[in-house]
Amino acid sequence: MTEIIETAQAEAIEELTPLLGRRNACAAAGVPQANWYRKNRTSPAPDRPSIPRTPHPAALSHGERERIRTVLNERFADAAPATAYFTLLDEGTYLASESTMYRILREHGEVGRDRRRQATHPAKTIPELFADAPNRVWAWDITKLRGPHKGIWYHLYTIIDIYSRCVVGWMVASRESAALAKRLIAQTIIKQKVNRDALTLHADRGSSMKSKTVAELLIDLGVAKSHSRPKTSNDNPHIEASFKTLKYCPAFPGRFGSIEDARAFCQDFYTWYNQEHYHSGIGYHHPADAHYGRAAAVRDRRAHVLATAQAAHPERFASGGAPTPPNLPGPTWINKPKQDQTDEQKDTPEKPTQN
């Protein structure tokens, strides 16, 4: 609407200008004459000669300014210009006023930041872990369980095998401690009879996970260590998924009355999780069956039941072949390389199109 009005006013001014003159035409159209000239200027604004600025006789020379900047960035790199000014003054030295120091730093963008030399860290690499059998890659983490009162927490340490999704070790303690983590890891490795140089242990970057105590244990046992990238929970998905299953369990209480209650609950839960839970990530097998080599026999029984049912009532099954149960657990990745994913897609035959 505004553009339409302005266009109509401009047309009226152009029609009235030959009869009334530009000033009277603008007044008749209700447009200030200055506004019309501003919008319809055809000639460029006149050039104004640049007058070089003459430095003040008392201004600092280039060498003096560089000296002040060097002193501020080297000797007083971790101090404010005010501190530098009064320190030098107490030493009997006057380089410049405090405001001049700020002005020199501002010219180089060095106000409001740390002027010390900053350490540079390379980008964290993406952990790419592969497990084609049990006890090749474990993941572990610690989660908190609410105690009977506010501020009381219990700490659940959990170790999971990413190939079979079997929880191979867990512990509930009253505190988070690298020493306790070391004891749990050592006991679990002995219990699972893991050979030297055969296992990789993956964790996030918590204090216990990165502790020297745990690192020295892994070196002694011949276990490779791996860590997630900072603030990247997807780098440790299997342990996070197990914690979600734990805390979304219908029987999971809001609070535990004591640490003994928490241990009793976790004992029942992990027995169910390993022995009775059908895990979708391993073809709806029980984690314990996948971990201890019983999954193939379970799949054969499932296939036999399906074949028997199809033979008895073939009309109840869709044509196109015998029904098959889900595949056995296959190789598992944490952050599978994109190139491998692309190759798999190329190798997978396309399904024929039905007309």
- Predicted pLDDT at 74: 86
Task: Provide the pLDDT confidence category of residue 143 given band limits of 50, 70 and 90.
Answer: very high
Tokens for 196, please give them.
């030297």
What is the arithmetic mean of pLDDT over 296-321?
Answer: 87
Percentage of the residues of the chain whose pLDDT score is greater than 90: 54
- 141 Cβ partners below 8 Å, 6+ apart? 158, 203, 204, 206, 209, 236, 239, 240, 243
Q: Which residue intervals of 193-294 are DSSP H helices? A: 212-221, 237-247, 259-275, 287-291
Residue 2's pLDDT is 73
Q: What pLDDT is attached to residue 30?
A: 83
Is the model's pLDDT at 127 over the cut of 70?
A: yes
47/303: higher pLDDT: 303
Mean pLDDT over each residue of the chain, to the nearest integer? 87
Eight-class DSSP state of 75: T
Q: Please give the pLDDT value at position 23.
A: 84
**Is it the case that residue 250 has pLDDT exceeding 70?**
yes
Domain ranges within the chain, ordered by starting residue: 2-37, 62-107, 129-282
pLDDT level of residue 219 (50, 70, 90 thresholds): very high
Residue 349: the pLDDT is 44
**Helix then strand then coil, % of the chain, to nearest 5:** 45, 10, 45
What pLDDT does residue 354 have? 35
Give 351's pLDDT tier (boundaries 50, 70, 90): very low
Question: What pLDDT, in 10s, does the model give residues 192-216?
Answer: 999 999 999 999 999 999 999 999 9
pLDDT score recorded for residue 10:
80
In sequence order, what E strands does the chain have?
A: 129-131, 137-146, 153-161, 167-173, 200-203, 224-227, 332-334
pLDDT band of residue 248 (cuts 50, 70, 90) is very high
- C-alpha–C-alpha distance, residues 69 and 107, integer Å: 10
Report long-range pairs for 21-24 (Cβ below 8 Å, ≥24 apart): none
Residue 233 has pLDDT above 90, yes or no: no
- Residue 352 pLDDT > 70, yes or no? no
Mean pLDDT of 180-185: 96
Amino acid identity, position 131: A
Q: Among residues 180, 182, 168, which one has the least CA distance to residue 221?
A: 182
Task: Tell if the pTM clears 0.75, that is, is over it.
Answer: no
pLDDT for 117: 64
What pLDDT is recorded for position 181? 96
Q: Where does the pLDDT of residue 340 fall: very low under 50, low under 70, confident under 90, or very high at 90 and above?
A: low
Whether pLDDT at 355 is above 50: no
* Across 29-45, average pLDDT: 75
In sequence order, the 6+-apart residues with CB closer than 8 A to the CB of 328 are 283, 285, 290, 295, 296, 299
C-beta contacts of 340-345 below 8 A and 24+ residues apart: none
pLDDT value at 59 more than 90: no
What architecture does CATH give domain 129-282?
2-Layer Sandwich (3.30)
